[in-house]
Chain A
Amino acid sequence: MDVLLDPREGARHLLLGNEAIARGALEAGVRLACGYPGTPASEVIESLLRAAAERKIYVEWSTNEKLAMEVAAAGSFAGLRSLCTMKQNGVHVGSDFLLHLALSGTRGGMVVVPCEDPGAVSSINEAEARMFSKMLEIPLLEPGDFQELKDMVRWAFDLSEEIRSVVMVRSVTRLSHGSGVVELGPLPDLREAPPPEFRYEGPTGDPDRGVLMTFPLDQTHKRLQEKMERVREIFESSPFNTYRGPANPDLLVVTSSACFLHCREAISLLGAEGLVGLLKLGTTWPLPRRLLGRYLASTERVLVVEEVLPFLEDNIKALAADLASEIGPTAFFGKASGHLPSRGELTPEKVAQVLAELLGIPWEGEPGGYEDKALDVLSMVPNREWTFCPGCPHRASFWAINQALKLDGRKGFVCGDIGCYTLGILPTGFHTVKMVHAMGSGIGVASGFGQLGSFGMDQPVVAVCGDSTFFHTGINGLVNAVHHRARVIFILLDNGGTAMTGFQPHPGLPLDALGREVIELDPVRICRAMGIRVEVGDPFDLKGTQQLLVELMQEDGGVQVLVLRRACALSPQRKSRTEFRMCVDERRCLGHSCGCNRLCTRVFRCPGLIWDEEKGVSRIDEVICAGCGVCADICPAGAILRQEVA
C-alpha cells in the first residue's frame, strides 16, 4: 500500500518532505490541489496524484501558477479545502491574484505552499515568498522539520477557515527534497457531503454568502487587518514556536525553517547547549509579540539565523524597538552585523562558525594535515558542468541555430527561456543563448528587440521557448510580437512535456494529470491562427533545420515561427530505446590532424562521445550513448557510424 494512504494513526514512515506536505493536506481533507511544476515543489502535486482516486481529490497541473491559485480559490469559494503549490518565483507570477484574494477572503480552507530554493540549488534565482505574506497581509507558517511539514500544512487549513483568509506555508529545498520519519495522523472519513455551492445571496461583506469583492476598500482592508490581529493572538500560543535552552542564555538564537535543524546541530557540534537558547519560530508573520518579548527579555544578545534576506531579523528588530522598555538593551547579530550572508544557503558548519565566534569557543577542522591532503585531492577532481543529456533534442537544435546565426553573419542572438534549454547559455548549448530571465520572457523581450529595426538595428533576433513554457506565459509574448509585427524568429522547442521537472502534462497533450482525455491544444495550429508563417522541423535533421533558419532570417518583418519537434531523450516513449548503435571508425577518424579541430568532442560535447587519449581518436562511451545518431552528421570525415538497431 502507498504510505501516503496508510490509514493507521501513529504509523511512522520515511517521507520525502513534499510527501509530508501532501499527507498533511490529505489529513486535512483537501479536495482540490493545483500547481505548476518547478523544482523543488513538483512532488507535492505528484504525491497528491497518487492519492487522487482514493481520496476523491481534483488534482491539476495548471497552465501557470496564477491559474493554479485561481483554480484552487474556486474550490475554496465553493466551500472545499484547496491547496496550491509552486516554486518560489511562481508566487511572484500569481501575486496579483493573491493580493486581491487576501482582500476578498476565502471560504473553504485554502493553503498556498511555495517551495523555495535558497542558494538556487535548482533555480536561476533565490527569490522569496516570505515578503508577500507581510506585503499582502496573509499568515506565514514555516515548518522546521519533516513532521512539522505535515502537521503545519494540516493545521493551516483550520487556521484559514477560522480567519477566512488564505494561509501560506513555506518550505525550502532542504525540507521539500529531504526526507525524514513522520508519524501519521488520521485520515478523515469521506462521508457523503452535499455538493459544493458558491453562495452569493447574502449582504455585501458577508464572508459566507456575499459577493466576493475587494471594495469598498476601507472596509475590506480593515477586515483583513483585523484578521491579522486575530492571527497574531493565535500565534502567541502556537505549539509550532518552541524553545530549548537555559532560562537566561548567553546568546539567544532565533530561527525558522530548515535553519532550525542547522542551528540545533551547530549547538550540538560546539557542545554549547548550556550557553545558547534556541527559539524556533513556526509562525513568522505576523510575529507573536508577547512571546518574542519574553525571550528577548531573557538575554542581551540575540542572533537571528535565516537564509537569504533578513526578513525575520528586520521584523524582530522592529518589534524590539517597540518593546525596548520591557526587554532592555539588546545587541542583535545576523545579517546587518555582517555575521551571516544575505544570499545563499546556510549549513550546520556555517552556523557553528558564527556561534563559535560569538561565544568565544574554538571551532577547528581535522588536524594532522588532513585538510591539506583534501585540498590537493579536490584540485585533481574535474568540475562537472551541466550538460544536455545524451540524445537530447536541444543539443541538436542549438547546434543548428548556432550554425545558422554564424552563416547569417549579422551577429544574431537568441533570447532564452526557462527549461532544460536554459542550458543553451552554457558550452553544452554552444553559448547560443545570450540572455535568460523569467518564464515566457524570451519571446517577450524578443518582441521588444524586434522593434529596434526602426532605429537601424540589423541583428537577427531569435527567441526559444519550450512547449510547457509556451502555454505558461510564452503565448502572451508571442501575441505581443505578432500584433506589433516584431521582427523575430520564434523557435518552439517541443519535446512533448514539461521535461525538466519530470514530464508533467501541459495543455498541448491529450491526457491531463489525472489521466483524463482532454482537449490537446496544438501550438502549430495556434500559431497559424495568428496569421504568421509557421514551419515544422525535426531537430535531428541538422542540415534541414539550419537551411530553414537561414531562410527565415532573410524574411522581412513580422514573426516567423519554427516548431522543432522531437521527444525528450528521457521521455517514456524514448527512454531505454536506442535507435542506432553508434561507433567510431578509428581508421577514418583523423584525430588531432582533422581540420575540424575535434568538432565532435571539443565542440559538440555530447557526454556519449569521448576522446581516447592513447589512440588520439574519438570513441563512443557505450554506457552513456543514447543512440540518437546526430553526431554522425557533424563529423566531416564520416568516421562516426550509425547502425540501425533492430
Chain B
Amino acid sequence: MIMSEMLPKDPYNLIITGVGGQGNVLLSRMVGVMLARKGLEVTIGESFGAAQRGGSVMSHLRISRSGTWSPLIPRGRADAVIALEPAEGLRVLALYGNPRVQALLNTRPIYPIGVTAGEAAYPSLESIRRAAEGLSERCWLLPATEEAQKLGSPILGNIIMLGAFSRVSPLSLDREAFEEILWEMFPEDKWKVNLQAYSIGESLISAENARS
C-alpha cells in the first residue's frame, strides 16, 4: 500500500449521479479503480436497476484508508457530488449535501417525461445555479454535454466531468492514473477522443473559475 495517499476526511464520500445511459456506472468504476490503485480502500454502492430505462442513477463512493464502509452514504454526508444531469445533481445535494460539499453539475437537462408532458416544471438554469450554490460550499456548472457533442458524442460528457473534477478535487485523481485506466478499459480507437474530453474538462474549470 502507498501510505502517502492522504485524505481530507475518512471516509471521503463522493456521489456520481445522472440518468440511465449517461455513463454514470462506468465513470464511478473508473474513479473507484483509479483510487484503489493508489492503495486506498474503495467501497461503491450503485443503483442501476433502472439504468437503461430513463431512471435516476446514483453511485456512492466511499474512499478510506481503513476498510469497507456502507455502500450507502448516510444522508447529509457527501463531500463531493458530480452530476451528469443538473436536476439529478440538485436531488442528490438536497438529500446528501451539507454546507461543506463540492458540487460539479453538467448543465444539459434530460427532461423527465412528466416535464415533456406538461405535468411538472423543470427549473431554469439560473435557479439551478442558485440552488446548487445555496446547498454547497462551492459549485461549478459546466456545459459538458455541449462540449462532448463537439467531440462527436454526448456520452463523452462523463469523461469531461471527470477531467473537471480532477482539477478541483482533493483526491489524487491525476492524468497518469486516468491514462492508465483508459488503456485498460477502452478500445484503442477511443483513447484519443477520451483524452481530449478529459482535457476539455480541465479547461472548463478554469473558464468557470474565471467567471465567478
| CA gap between A127 and B19 in the complex, in Å | 27
A621 touches B111 (CB 8 A): yes
B99 touches A389 (CB 8 A): no
Residues 170-208 of B, flagged 1 when their CB comes within 8 A of A and 0 if not, give: 000000000000000000000000000000000000000
Is A624's CB within 8 Å of the partner chain B?
Answer: yes
| CA gap between A264 and B68 in the complex, in Å | 10
Residues 6-32 of B, flagged 1 when their CB comes within 8 A of A and 0 if not, give: 000000000000010100000001001
A377 touches B134 (CB 8 A): yes
Residues 95-128 of B, flagged 1 when their CB comes within 8 A of A and 0 if not, give: 1011100000000101111111110111100010
| CA gap between A349 and B70 in the complex, in Å | 11
In the complex, how many residues of chain A place their beta carbon closer than 8 angstroms to a beta carbon of chain B?
Answer: 68
Is A332's CB within 8 Å of the partner chain B?
Answer: no
| Residue from B19, B47, B94, B108 within 8 A of A381 (CB atoms) | B94
| CA gap between A580 and B94 in the complex, in Å | 40
| CA gap between A117 and B49 in the complex, in Å | 10
A423 touches B122 (CB 8 A): no
Is B81's CB within 8 Å of the partner chain A?
Answer: no
A178 and B93 in contact, given A348-B72, A382-B122, A623-B154 (Cβ under 8 angstroms): no
Is B55's CB within 8 Å of the partner chain A?
Answer: yes
| Residue from B44, B55, B123, B145 within 8 A of A178 (CB atoms) | B44
| Residue from B47, B48, B68, B88 within 8 A of A180 (CB atoms) | B68
A381 touches B87 (CB 8 A): yes
Is A179's CB within 8 Å of the partner chain B?
Answer: yes
Is B50's CB within 8 Å of the partner chain A?
Answer: yes
Residue of chain B at shortest CB distance from A379? B94
Residues 364-387 of A, flagged 1 when their CB comes within 8 A of B and 0 if not, give: 011010100111111011111111
A179 touches B42 (CB 8 A): yes
A607 touches B54 (CB 8 A): yes
B69 touches A39 (CB 8 A): no
| CA gap between A122 and B20 in the complex, in Å | 13
| CA gap between A420 and B95 in the complex, in Å | 28
A623 and B145 in contact, given A14-B36, A389-B52 (Cβ under 8 angstroms): yes
A598 and B118 in contact, given A384-B88, A387-B113, A623-B149 (Cβ under 8 angstroms): yes
B135 touches A374 (CB 8 A): yes
Q: A598 — which chain B residues lie within 8 A by C-beta?
A: 117-118
Q: A117 — which chain B residues lie within 8 A by C-beta?
A: 49
B120 touches A611 (CB 8 A): no
Interface of A is mostly: mixed
A378 touches B91 (CB 8 A): yes
Q: B69 — which chain A residues lie within 8 A by C-beta?
A: 261, 265
Residue of chain B at shortest CB distance from A611? B116
B28-45 residues at the A interface, CB under 8 angstroms? 29, 32-33, 36, 41-45
B112 touches A383 (CB 8 A): yes
| Residue from B36, B71, B149 within 8 A of A174 (CB atoms) | B71
Q: How far is the CB of B106 from chain A (nearest CB, A)?
A: 11
Q: A179 — which chain B residues lie within 8 A by C-beta?
A: 29, 32, 42-44, 46
Residue among A146, A180, A570 with max Cβ neighbours from chain B (10 Å): A180
B131-164 residues at the A interface, CB under 8 angstroms? 131, 134-135, 145, 149, 154
| Residue from A180, A386, A428, A601 within 8 A of B43 (CB atoms) | A180
Is A71's CB within 8 Å of the partner chain B?
Answer: no
A420 touches B53 (CB 8 A): yes
| Residue from A269, A389, A607 within 8 A of B116 (CB atoms) | A607
| CA gap between A609 and B112 in the complex, in Å | 11
| CA gap between A181 and B95 in the complex, in Å | 27
Is A504's CB within 8 Å of the partner chain B?
Answer: no
| CA gap between A125 and B88 in the complex, in Å | 26
Q: Which residues of A contact B (CB under 8 A)?
A: 12-14, 39-40, 117, 121-123, 145-147, 173-175, 177-181, 258, 261-262, 264-265, 269, 347-349, 352, 365-366, 368, 370, 373-378, 380-389, 420, 423, 427-428, 500, 570, 598, 601-603, 605, 607, 609-611, 621, 623-624
